[in-house]
Amino acid sequence: MDEEYDCVVLGTGLTECILSGLLSVDGKKVLHMDRNDYYGADCASLNLEQLYQHFGEEKPPEGMGKPRQWSVDLVPKFLMADGTLVKILLKTDVTRYLEFKSVEGSYVYRAKGNKVDKVPATPGEVFSSKLMGLWEKNSFKKFLQFVIDFDPSNPKTTKGVTDSMNTAEMLKKLKYSFNDSTVDFVGHAIALYQEADWLQRPGIETINRIKLYGDSLAHYGKSPYLYPLYGLGDLPQGFARLSAIYGGTYMLNKPIQEITYGEDGHVTGVKSEDEVAKTKAVIGDPSYFMDKVKKVGRVVRCICILKHPIPNTKDAASCQLIIPQNQVNRKSDIYISCVSSAHQVCPKGYYIALVASTVETDVPEKELEPGLGLLGEIEKKFYSVHDLYEPSNDSKKEGVFISKSYDASTHFQTICADVLRIYKEMTGGDVDLKPKKKEEGQ
């Protein structure tokens, strides 16, 4: 360990492992350490006994199968089939270590009628949707077709939409009239915005978000999401293997004694067990740099064990369900994900659901009730509340690059954005997401 490295990475959460892999592929000499004796940090996957132990519970009751038949993600998230993380996986060949299966459905909740409906994201799906009346379906179909055809380099497809327009202005320009419920599911269940004021976001950004959803949906047809067999636990390890192939060094169960700095305030090394790894750049999750982060909120999650699919999802073995904030008089969306034996994460007959949201009150658990109420009978609940942190330091001056805490969403879009942010801050360039060219004979 008493060597010099281009970068030392602290923590084996998914964000850190992706960056470790990308930098190793770039030819950087990387040392990756974690104080824990397992991969994944806050996004680890646990077997049944580990899950009960993690939440301070007694051993699981008899009859739930062998503990190793379970792989429960503490922070489950789905991958967009055409999203950034999948492009990184393909670019780096980490897919060789993993097998993915599509998620069966994507749903949205409407307060009116207390209904759960499938999210329509293609013109063909619109007319079978129960989310809209006939007149609105015609208008929405035209809007989706506009999004599909939109090409900023071709004025014939833009219908006067410019870069300067926000989303509300864009919709007004296009003369598409949607009711509030339709606007909700477009913004929160298709474009996947978390902000309440997303209509003030650039119209071009909204178009690109809807395009991503539609392009991802086109891969498999049931939903735009993928999920790895056996859970997310192998994702960090997949990138760890990638890093090792390119010369990266991994050390688990390594307590961090000190981050050392020079007189100019720039990082010089990481001390562990009285050895110092010299470096000019350190990446880590917030828990390693509590003096360099700011608290920006809290997230509440409830992992639920079920013996049935989520009601009103056509018995989907896996699905995502989003409750837009306005539908339940909140400032934050409520996210629900569900997986089962179809993804090899639990024995047949069981389902693992997660309900999560950003905390808004002094009683976080109560805030999840609208989501929990959609699950039907619940066999077991595991609640957790975590603080959310963002970096507050000057990363370029210090050479310390800190990831953000994992938010309440049940998809990887925000994590991917964080990876791209840190990579650019550290290297000065963007991640090359172009597919690798196959060599002759491959």
Those residues whose C-beta lies under 8 Å from the C-beta of residue 117, and which sit 6 or more positions away, are 107, 108, 110, 129, 130, 131
Task: List the one residue out of 168, 167, 186, 177 whose CA is nearest residue 133.
Answer: 177
Judge whether 254 lies within some domain.
Answer: yes
Which of these three, 220, 243, 268, is where a domain ends?
220
**For residue 77, how many other CB atoms are within 10 A of its CB?**
26
pLDDT at 40 over 90: no
Task: List the one residue out of 288, 311, 286 whose CA is nearest residue 372.
Answer: 311
**Do 274 and 384 have their domain in common?**
no
**What domain range is 237 assigned to?**
4-42+233-294+389-427
Residues found in the chain? 442
**Do 161 and 183 have their domain in common?**
yes
**Do 370 and 405 have their domain in common?**
no
**Do 215 and 152 have their domain in common?**
yes
**For residue 261, how many other CB atoms are within 10 A of its CB?**
14
Which of these three, 187, 220, 253, is where a domain ends?
220
**Do 394 and 285 have their domain in common?**
yes
**Do 326 and 398 have their domain in common?**
no
Q: Which helix (H) or strand (E) holds 101?
A: strand 100-102
Q: Can you say whether residue 353 is alpha, beta or left, with left for phi > 0 and alpha for psi between -120 and 50 degrees?
A: beta
Name the amino acid, one letter, at 152: P
The CA distances from residue 109 to 106, 334, 357, in Å, are 11, 10, 15
**Do 211 and 119 have their domain in common?**
yes
**241, two tokens:** 């293997």
pLDDT score recorded for residue 386 = 97
Task: List the one residue out of 277, 222, 281 whose CA is nearest residue 250.
Answer: 277
Q: Report the first-to-last Cα separation within the chain, whole angstroms.
A: 37
CATH number where 216 lies = 1.10.405.10
**Do 148 and 19 have their domain in common?**
no
Helix/strand/coil for 343: helix
Point out the least confidently predicted range of 116-130, 133-147, 299-313, 413-427. Answer: 116-130
The CA distances from residue 77 to 108, 111, 228, 354, 374, in Å, are 17, 25, 10, 10, 19
Those residues whose C-beta lies under 8 Å from the C-beta of residue 260, and which sit 6 or more positions away, are 267, 268, 269, 270, 271, 276
Q: Is the pTM of this model over 0.85?
A: yes
Helix/strand/coil for 269: strand
DSSP character for 9? E
pLDDT tens per residue across span 76-128: 999 999 999 999 998 888 988 889 999 999 999 999 889 999 998 677 788 88
CATH number where 239 lies = 3.50.50.60
Looking at the chain, the whole-number percentage of residues with pLDDT higher than 70 is 98
Judge whether 305 lies within some domain.
Answer: yes
CATH number where 67 lies = 3.30.519.10
Judge whether 141 lies within some domain.
Answer: yes
Q: Which helix (H) or strand (E) holds 387?
A: strand 380-391
**Within 13 Å of residue 109, how many CA atoms lie on the same side as its CB?**
24
**Do 211 and 124 have their domain in common?**
yes
pLDDT tens per residue across span 179-235: 888 999 999 999 999 999 999 999 999 999 999 999 999 888 789 999 999 999 889
Judge whether 84 lies within some domain.
Answer: no
Gyration radius of the chain over CA positions: 23
**Do 319 and 354 have their domain in common?**
yes
Judge whether 433 lies within some domain.
Answer: no
**Do 157 and 177 have their domain in common?**
yes
The single residue listed with the structure tokens 């047809």 is 221
Beta bridge partners of residue 100, listed in sequence order: 228
CA angle 298, 301, 304 (to 5 degrees): 175
Beta bridge partners of residue 334, listed in sequence order: 323, 357
**Distance separating alpha carbons of residues 235 and 376, to the nearest angstrom:** 31
Instruction: Give the chain's domain count.
Output: 3
Judge whether 226 lies within some domain.
Answer: no
Judge whether 228 lies within some domain.
Answer: no
Judge whether 85 lies within some domain.
Answer: no
Those residues whose C-beta lies under 8 Å from the C-beta of residue 239, and which sit 6 or more positions away, are 14, 17, 18, 20, 21, 92, 94
* Mean pLDDT over each residue of the chain, to the nearest integer: 93
**Do 119 and 162 have their domain in common?**
yes
Written as one string, the DSSP assignment of 136-150 is HHHHHHHHHHHHHH-
**Distance separating alpha carbons of residues 306 and 402, to the nearest angstrom:** 36
Query: Confidence band (pLDDT; 50, 70, 90) for 384?
Result: very high
